[in-house]
Amino acid sequence: MTLTRCVQCDSDALCDATHEEARAVGPRRFTAQLPALRCPRCGEVYLPGPAVGAFDDAVTRALVEAGASDGDALRWLRRAAGLRAADLAALLDVRPETVSRWETEASPAPRAAVYALGTLALASVYGQTAPLERLRALASPTAAPEGAVALDVRAA
Ligand SMILES: [Zn+2]
């Protein structure tokens, strides 16, 4: 949808502009100049959803690449992965209260859990499902094949 009129004042003279958007995650503050539409009459600023999504994805990548593991970073990454705390707990075979304790920094998250969460968040950014499917398979071992298993190794 392309906005053509200001929702606030009904002006039809929206102008291309840039807007500094910011996200605070724990001790970090991320900023980016995003393309926007600005109403010259009332000053209202409209940010396109894809640009906001790209900014949030960039924050996710920056957190993972920095190895951030504080509670706020873990909460951001979990949400970036599209997971509720209970979902993540089930995937990692811990209690939901454990995830809560990591995110409130009542106890440190094990590196393996931070790794898994970062991998899930990055996979979500890049539209990949393999890491989530792998954890789901681990959580449901009855789905694993047993006995003689014929594999198709032709190039896909
Ligand atoms: Zn306006």
CA 58 / ligand 1 centre spacing (Å)? 30
Q: Which residues surround ligand 1, an ion (CB under 5 A)?
A: 6, 8-9, 11, 39, 41-42, 44
CA of 11 to the centre of ligand 1 (A): 5
Confidence category of residue 156, pLDDT binned at 50, 70, 90: low
pLDDT at 146: 79
CA–CA distance, 63 with 119 (Å, rounded to integer): 11
Mean of pLDDT values over 64-78? 98
Domain residue ranges in the chain: 15-137
pLDDT at 1 over 80: no
* 107 vs 4, more confident: 107
Cα of 6 vs centre of ligand 1, distance in Å, is 5
Task: Find the 116 Cα to ligand 1 centroid distance in Å.
Answer: 45
Count of C-beta atoms within a 10 Å radius of residue 149: 7
- pLDDT tens digits, 78-124: 999 999 999 999 999 999 999 999 999 999 999 999 999 999 999 99
H, E, C per residue of the chain:
CCCCCCCCCCCCCCEEEEEEEEEEECCEEEEEEEEEEECCCCCCEECCHHHHHHHHHHHHHHHHHCCCCCHHHHHHHHHHCCCCHHHHHHHHCCCHHHHHHHHCCCCCCCHHHHHHHHHHHHHHHCCCCHHHHHHHHHHCHHHCCCCCCCCCCCCC
Q: Does the pLDDT at position 54 exceed 90?
A: yes
Residue 50 CA, ligand 1 centroid: distance in Å = 22
Q: Please write the tens of the pLDDT for every residue from 126-136.
A: 999 999 999 99
- pLDDT at residue 136, as a whole number: 93
* Amino acid 145: pLDDT: 73
